[in-house]
Structure 1
Amino acid sequence: MKHQTILICCSLFVNSIVFGQQTPKILADKKTNYLPDFSYAGYHFGEKNIPEVQGKIINATDYGVKANDGLDDSKALLKAVRAANAVDGNVILQLPAGRIILSDFLYIQRSNFVLRGAGSGETGTEIYCPRPMMYFKDPESLAELREYLTTFDKRQREPENNVDLPFSQYAWSGGIVWTQIPGERVKSYLDKYEPVSNPLAKVISGNMGEHTINVSDLKGLKVGDIVELQLFNKDGENGEIIKDLYQGANVKPGSHHWKFPKLPIVRQQVEITKISNSKITIKTPLTIAIKPSYQAQLVEWKHLTEVGIEHLRFTFPDIPRVAHHVEPGNNAIFLTRVFNSWVKDVTITNADSGILGEEISNVTVQDITTDGPHMAHYTVTLGGVHNVLVKNLKIYNKAVHPLSFNTFATKNVYQNCEIFADALLDQHSGANHQNLFDHITVHITPDKNNSYYLFGGGGADYWKPSHGPFSTFWNLNVQVEKPAEITKPVLLYGMKDGPLARIIGVNGNAKFEVKYEPDPYIEFLNTPMDKIPSLYDYQLQRRLK
């Protein structure tokens, strides 16, 4: 009966405001019902368009790359990369039209570098990857991940399918095209590899949603620096930061929230805009308040800038899928350690994962298509990243997690994306919080109970709950197959441990009910969002005024 009460109350609340207001009440009532400002996501905080970069052009064909000849182009292409790396200033590595065969990692390891094809369509550039990364030499940068997987005996166990196999290092990491800083960790997995802390400042306090922090012990920080803000839980299972992170909600945090006290539990990449004695102003707002017990700090964050991957497509063979987490590594792009960068106009066919991100900030990924008969793990996923904007993503293939906010993801946005097969909006545990699904279209077929599992909460129990407070859904357009046959509201359900979500504007070609737990804020149910179709655009336009 409790669930029915939630549904009825939400429906009455919505009906009482729809006719009286043109815009959702939450926009004018943010103090009572907090709504994060998502407008800082994307390239240059959303304030600049992706550029058409001019600079020195390195033609891959000058170094032996020959399209459509059926021969492997890896050595020639890597030779062209080395030539591009020797160029000062902006450099564009231009790929020819036609099929290029690549069977090795193509690392992008410098700033001001654009990998550009001749287009993502049939007459453009195709990077064909005949074999997965499991047949490549093990990347040094994933050594810690490999040790983590074996130390904790990470295995996919499905007795009913006779599956008992070790996790692949490529289940959520690695890509044929890979941005990285040599020698830098992709992601922290084990305490023992955590470097001795050398903070640029200790952070004493700050308020959620604000831009000013109080600090001590400044060391060489200056305006314009891009650094990482780190917050810790040093106080075990009952650490104050756990309670604050989940706003006291009725959820049960898993053990990873306290078992790795040397690893930050919340992090943001921030730009320093002002330093005034012990007060520092940062460009983007804090996702949670800072207290002395969090032992927060600002530390160096090594990264590349102005890296672009554009106008091409990746194709993989349609190999049999064995099981979840044991993918052999047909991943197209792995973005690590980039800031103010982009991926644009890319089609990806038959990938295990299309585009993966770790340790990136203020990146725009736009005009992406994923397709093919192969069942993917991820399409474009956001884990351990901050202020990333994914826009105009079309998903035609089936995927375990079509859209996914993963571990440590904060203030990221999926905007104007569309899922055509087995739609699921996944939030994948791991202290991820304040992410936005904005103007998403999903195509669904309700089950025999006239309901649909739309809100996913993936991830391991040790990182639960599925997300922190203030994850937001704005203008969710649900297209039901055969709407004429639907005679009563379709129930959209799935989330049981996602506290204080904001769900504004679920609408489509049928009537809907929403079941989302615990304590959601639901408004404009079954009401078109014509006036403000995109929360990201609305917030950005208001900020830039």
Structure 2
Amino acid sequence: MTNLFSRRSVLGAGGAVAGAAALGSLGLNQAAAASGTSRLWQSEKVRYDSRYRLVYAADAEGNRIPDFSYAGYKYGDSPIPHVRTATTVRPVAGDNTAHLQAAIDEVGARTPDRNGFRGAVLLAPGNYPVAGTLRVNRSGVVLRGSGDGADPAKHTIIQATGNTPVSRDVVVLGGSVSTGWRGEVPGTRTDITSDWVQVGAKSFEVADASGLKRGDNIILIHPCTEAWLASVDYGGTAKDAGWVVDSQPITYNRHIKSIRGNTVTVDVPLFEHLRRARSQSYLYVWDRAGLVTDVGVENLRIDIQFAGDPDVDEAHAWVGVKVRQVEDAWVRDSTFLHFAKAGVETTEATRVTVRNCKALDPASVVTGGLRYNFNSEAFSQQILFVDCYATKARHAFISNGASSASGIVFLRGTSEGALASSEGHRRWSQGLLWDNHRDIAPKVDLVLGIYNRGDYGTGHGWATSHSVGWNCDVGTARLVVQKPPTAQNYAIGGKGVITGDGPFPNPAGFIEGANRPGLFPPSLYQAQYLDRHR
């Protein structure tokens, strides 16, 4: 099926348009013949109609699979750019932190070109001991190595040394602090007056649109009220105390595409129902204070130095690359080793692509809060992890961002030797997609969780809603999918033990086509992307 769903369709719009045209000229039978498969089948929840457009079926509660295709750098609509090299640096003896930071700051002080880029800092091959944190904190700057292999004669190896400050990040891509998108432009707040905004919708009514305009960056808040908490069983936290009022506001970062009267249309669908009777949602224009845009890390290796037993020692750097306070950023073609928490971690980040990266061999105690190899924390939205590889993870591909994290896609991710499950981790994250995820030789039975975590952690409860496992291969292990109150989760076309029987008894989510080959389209994200560009 590569003629219909090539990797080009993930990485640039040109491939997407060509793929859509190819699909439009084929029926399902012809596509089956072209693929050499005689028994292709489509999901009842999302399928092609007679015009070769995707259509979505809702259940009696109005639950439907949302469109995940807006994830990634520039919504996935522009290829990750090759930014010109502005300066080349080579390693020096001893700690290279100040040496590298000076080069990054020098490029950051340059005037951006017409595309907003200041230039790339190219690290020549070699070993670069770094005892501090490197900060790519000016828009339009790229930190680029000469390859992510293990040979310093050919590749760039940042050797993170020491533990000062404790549990540090080696590279921070973006701003210096997290604001939680709280910077409200005065006079722009208005209530959402639609009685019900369905999951997957992009338009809704507001009380007064006079303070808004096309292109505004808005923050939409669904407050965590008593009525909403009651509707979701106070989080379903088993023996732990239930969630409390104001603890889990649902938050979306969006841009206004159009305004007609008091009807506002935004750029990306919502990943949860907004029911006015349970919570009065509102929005405001965000001031974007401190936001960094169009930055990247690429083609390098971060090897965090540690001493002793890799299952004990965690007195070293914890995160390879922290992507924070950014819009439109990327991490690609890089390898991260011996972190305690994550190879790549996003927080307060929107429209980020993490592509062709490896997060290998964590060094830490095997316990809670550690070994989240590819991790999206709070205020992470429209994040695309594609063709990434994790080893010895507790949670290889995870959202730990609770109710402010949504629209996160893990496409063709591979986890080897998992020590716990990839999953939505806690407190009502929304709209997560594991698409063609694969587990190899896991050390545990449950390797992909779209479910309730009950009293795990600190009242994790319902970990995610409106989330999907599509065409995933968990081998002989288990994928657990359960239905939250007021919402749904889905496992479609999976290979392995696909079940609703999780660690905390709850209704099974929607399960379809388990261990049935021939799911069409084979990738939900790519099919949605192609459909959006037709």
Q: TM-score, normalised by structure 2?
A: 0.76
Deviations 1:404-444 (A, max 9, x none): 12223211110101011126222211221221111001013
What does 1:411-422 align with in structure 2 at a 5 Å threshold? 411-422=407-418
Residue 301 of structure 2 corresponds to which residue in structure 1? 313
The alignment status of 1:289 with 2:273, answered yes or no, reads yes
The one-letter amino acid paired with 1:129 is: A
Query: Which has the larger helix fraction?
Result: 1
Deviations 1:350-380 (A, max 9, x none): 1112111111111110100122363462111
Tell me the CA shift for residue 288 of structure 1: 2.4
Deviations 1:153-181 (A, max 9, x none): xxxxxxxxxxxxxxxxx4xxx52211343
Tell me the CA shift for residue 306 of structure 1: 0.9
SS in structure 2 of the partner of residue 537 of structure 1 = helix
Residue 441 of structure 2 corresponds to which residue in structure 1? 444
Residue 73 of structure 1 corresponds to which residue in structure 2? 96
Which one is further off, 126-135 or 347-356? 126-135
**Kindly tell me: are residues 529 and 101 of structure 1, through their superposed partners in 2, closer, same or farther at Cα, counting changes over 3 Å?**
farther
Aligned with residue 528 of structure 2, among 524, 536, 539: 539
Residue 110 of structure 1 corresponds to which residue in structure 2? 138
Q: Does the CA contact (< 8 Å) of 1:201 and 1:219 recur in 2?
A: no
Q: Does the CA contact (< 8 Å) of 1:131 and 1:330 recur in 2?
A: no
Unaligned ranges ≥5, structure 1: 1-17, 136-169, 189-193, 480-489
Tell me the CA shift for residue 186 of structure 1: 5.1
Aligned with residue 240 of structure 1, among 214, 227, 230: 227
**Kindly tell me: are residues 360 and 324 of structure 1, through their superposed partners in 2, closer, same or farther at Cα, counting changes over 3 Å?**
farther
Which one is further off, 457-466 or 406-415? 457-466
**Kindly tell me: are residues 19 and 345 of structure 1, through their superposed partners in 2, closer, same or farther at Cα, counting changes over 3 Å?**
closer
Residue 13 of structure 2 corresponds to which residue in structure 1? none
The one-letter amino acid paired with 1:290 is: L
Aligned with residue 338 of structure 1, among 312, 322, 326: 326
SS in structure 2 of the partner of residue 57 of structure 1 = strand
SS in structure 1 of the partner of residue 493 of structure 2 = strand
Q: Does the CA contact (< 8 Å) of 2:234 and 2:244 recur in 1?
A: no
Deviations 1:128-185 (A, max 9, x none): 11113435xxxxxxxxxxxxxxxxxxxxxxxxxxxxxxxxxx4xxx522113434x43
What does 1:71-150 align with in structure 2 at a 5 Å threshold? 71-89=94-112, 90=117, 91-121=119-149, 122=151, 123-135=154-166
Q: Does the CA contact (< 8 Å) of 1:465 and 1:498 recur in 2?
A: no
What does 1:464-503 align with in structure 2 at a 5 Å threshold? 464-479=460-475, 490=476, 492=478, 500-503=488-491
Residue 188 of structure 2 corresponds to which residue in structure 1? 200
Residue 12 of structure 2 corresponds to which residue in structure 1? none
Residue 487 of structure 1 corresponds to which residue in structure 2? none
RMSD over equivalenced CA pairs, Å: 3.2
Deviations 1:76-133 (A, max 9, x none): 1121122112101122112111111111121122211111111112322111111134
Deviations 1:484-520 (A, max 9, x none): xxxxxx5626667866320011126xx7666354231
**Kindly tell me: are residues 100 and 21 of structure 1, through their superposed partners in 2, closer, same or farther at Cα, counting changes over 3 Å?**
closer
Tell me the CA shift for residue 526 of structure 1: 0.6
Q: Does the CA contact (< 8 Å) of 1:491 and 1:513 recur in 2?
A: no
Deviations 1:37-76 (A, max 9, x none): 111111111222211123x6022x2xxxx42x55211111
Aligned with residue 52 of structure 1, among 65, 70, 82: 82
Q: Does the CA contact (< 8 Å) of 1:120 and 1:313 recur in 2?
A: yes
Q: Distance in 2 between matches of 1:200 and 1:321?
A: 54
Q: TM-score, normalised by structure 1?
A: 0.75
Q: Does the CA contact (< 8 Å) of 1:455 and 1:494 recur in 2?
A: yes
Sequence identity of aligned pairs in percent? Answer: 21
Q: Does the CA contact (< 8 Å) of 1:440 and 1:476 recur in 2?
A: yes
Tell me the CA shift for residue 470 of structure 1: 1.8
Q: Does the CA contact (< 8 Å) of 1:205 and 1:291 recur in 2?
A: no
The alignment status of 1:404 with 2:398, answered yes or no, reads yes
Q: Does the CA contact (< 8 Å) of 2:229 and 2:235 recur in 1?
A: no
Number of aligned residue pairs: give it.
Answer: 453
Aligned with residue 213 of structure 1, among 201, 204, 207: 204
SS in structure 2 of the partner of residue 240 of structure 1 = helix
Q: Does the CA contact (< 8 Å) of 2:255 and 2:267 recur in 1?
A: yes
Residue 26 of structure 1 corresponds to which residue in structure 2? 45
Aligned with residue 394 of structure 1, among 385, 389, 393: 389
SS in structure 2 of the partner of residue 419 of structure 1 = strand
Deviations 1:443-499 (A, max 9, x none): 13687xxxx2224466855543242332110011133xxxxxxxxxx5626667866
